[in-house]
C-alpha cells in the first residue's frame, strides 16, 4: 500500500492511495491503530484518509475514518489533502470534482494553494438549548454536510471546551453526534476558535467547523466575507461563492509512511 503523512493547517492524517495500490481490509481498525500514538517521528494522525478511483464525473473519491474508527460524512481539510494528492499523482489537474460521503465537491489546485468548495452551509437552528451537567447551554446548529454546534464564549454562562466538548458531542439532542466549536474571540482579523470533533476529540483544525462558525458570525453581523478563522494548528480562510462556502489554508504531503503489518 502507498501511504503518506499529510497536514492541513495542523489537522494531521495518514492518507492511503487506493487508486495506485491495494486498500486495507479493515480501514476503521487501521485508523484506530494509527491514531493511538505518535510514530517514531512524533507524527500522530487524527484520522485515516483513503483516495479512491472517481465515480462518473469525479476524478477521485475521498473516504475518511476518524480516530475512533467512525466514518464522518465530510471533512474540509481531508478534502484539500485528497485534492493535492490527486494532482501530485496526476489523477487530475487544476479544477475538478471529488466524490465524498456528503456528495460531489468542487476543488481547485493552483500554484497558490488548494481551495475546496464545501457546498451550502445551512443554519438549522439559531438557538438550540442543551442541558449538560445541570447547566443549560445555548448554541447554533449548523449543517456543513456534517453536524456542528457553535458557541460563543463571550455570551453569559457559556462554558469552555474542556467543560462541555465531549458531553455535547455525544449528547442525545444530536442523534448522530455533533462537532462542537467554541469561538473565544471575534476581532477585525477574524475569529479565534477551538473545536471538539466527534470521534476525534479536540483538533488542531477543522475545515467544516471553521465554515460553520464563519457562517454564524456573518449571519450575526460580527464579521463579513471572507472570514479568517484562527485555530490552534493554523489559520483557515472562508469565502462565499455561488456554489457555497470555499475553504483554503496550508496543505502539505509530508512524505511516505510505513503501515503496521
| Domain locations along the chain | 2-119+248-256, 122-241
Determine the pLDDT at residue 162: 81
Q: Give 79 or 126, the one with higher predicted confidence.
A: 79
Handedness of CA 101, 103, 108, 112 (dihedral sign): negative
Determine the pLDDT at residue 226: 96
**pLDDT surpassing 60 at residue 156:** no
CATH number of this structure's domain 122-241: 3.10.310.10
Q: Provide mean pLDDT across the span 189-218.
A: 94
SS3 content of the chain, % helix, strand, coil (to 5): 15, 45, 40
- Torsion angle defined by CA atoms of residues 73, 77, 79 and 84, in that order, rounded to the nearest 10 degrees: -170
Query: What would the grid cell of residue 66 be?
Result: 476518524
Distance of CA 96 to the CA centre of its chain: 20
- Read off the pTM: 0.93
- Residue 37 — very low, low, confident or very high, per pLDDT cuts 50/70/90? confident
Query: What would the grid cell of residue 157 be?
Result: 454562562
Please state which of the ranges 136-150, 160-174, 212-226, 231-245 shows the lowest mean pLDDT. Answer: 160-174
Share of the chain above pLDDT 90, in %: 78
Fold of 2-119+248-256: Diaminopimelate Epimerase; Chain A, domain 1 (3.10.310)
Identify the top-confidence range among 155-164, 186-195, 209-218: 209-218
Determine the pLDDT at residue 88: 97
Q: Provide mean pLDDT across the span 1-9.
A: 94
- Residue 260 — very low, low, confident or very high, per pLDDT cuts 50/70/90? confident
Determine the pLDDT at residue 124: 94
Q: Is there a contact between 88 and 102 (Cβ–Cβ < 8 Å)?
A: no
**pLDDT surpassing 90 at residue 179:** yes
Secondary structure E strands in 177-233: 179-187, 190-197, 201-203, 227-231
Residues 68 and 200: their CA atoms lie apart, in Å, by: 7
Q: At what angle do helices 207-219 and 76-88 cross, to 10 degrees?
A: 130
Please state which of the ranges 15-19, 115-119, 160-164, 183-187 shows the lowest mean pLDDT. Answer: 160-164
Q: Give 56 or 120, the one with higher predicted confidence.
A: 120
Does this chain's domain 2-119+248-256 share its CATH topology with 122-241?
Answer: yes
Residues 220 and 258: their CA atoms lie apart, in Å, by: 47
Q: Provide the annotated active-site residues.
A: 75, 206
Determine the pLDDT at residue 185: 86
Q: pLDDT, tens digit, for every residue of 58-92?
A: 999 999 999 999 999 999 999 999 999 999 999 99
Q: Is there a contact between 260 and 14 (Cβ–Cβ < 8 Å)?
A: no
Determine the pLDDT at residue 155: 57
**pLDDT surpassing 80 at residue 40:** no
Mean of per-residue pLDDT scores for the chain: 93
Query: What would the grid cell of residue 254 be?
Result: 509530508
Determine the pLDDT at residue 29: 96
Amino acid at each position: 500500500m502507498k501511504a503518506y503523512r499529510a497536514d492541513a493547517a495542523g489537522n494531521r492524517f495518514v492518507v492511503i492511495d487506493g487508486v495506485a495500490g491495494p486498500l486495507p481490509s479493515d480501514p476503521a481498525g487501521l485508523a484506530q491503530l494509527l491514531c493511538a500514538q505518535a510514530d517514531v517521528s512524533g507524527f500522530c494522525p487524527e484520522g485515516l484518509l483513503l483516495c479512491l478511483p472517481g465515480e462518473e464525473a469525479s476524478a477521485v473519491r475521498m473516504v475518511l475514518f476518524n480516530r475512533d474508527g467512525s466514518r464522518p460524512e465530510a471533512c474540509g481539510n481531508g478534502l484539500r489533502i485528497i485534492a493535492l494528492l490527486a494532482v501530485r499523482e496526476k489523477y487530475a489537474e487544476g479544477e475538478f470534482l471529488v466524490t465524498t460521503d456528503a456528495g460531489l465537491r468542487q476543488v481547485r489546485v493552483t500554484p497558490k494553494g488548494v481551495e475546496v468548495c464545501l457546498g451550502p452551509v445551512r443554519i438549522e437552528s439559531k438557538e438550540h438549548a442543551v442541558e449538560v451537567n445541570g447547566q443549560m447551554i445555548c448554541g447554533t446548529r449548523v449543517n456543513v454536510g456534517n453536524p456542528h454546534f457553535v458557541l460563543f464564549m463571550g455570551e453569559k454562562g457559556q462554558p469552555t471546551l474542556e467543560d462541555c466538548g465531549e458531553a455535547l458531542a455525544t449528547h442525545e439532542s444530536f442523534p448522530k453526534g455533533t462537532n462542537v466549536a467554541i469561538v473565544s474571540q471575534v476581532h477585525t482579523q477574524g475569529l479565534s476558535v477551538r473545536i471538539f470533533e466527534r470521534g476525534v476529540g479536540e483538533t488542531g483544525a477543522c475545515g467544516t467547523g471553521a465554515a460553520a462558525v464563519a457562517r454564524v458570525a456573518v449571519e450575526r453581523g460580527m464579521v463579513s466575507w471572507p472570514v479568517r478563522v484562527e485555530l490552534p494548528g493554523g489559520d483557515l480562510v472562508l469565502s462565499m461563492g455561488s456554489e457555497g462556502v470555499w475553504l483554503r489554508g496550508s496543505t502539505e504531503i509530508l512524505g511516505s509512511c510505513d503501515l503496521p503489518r
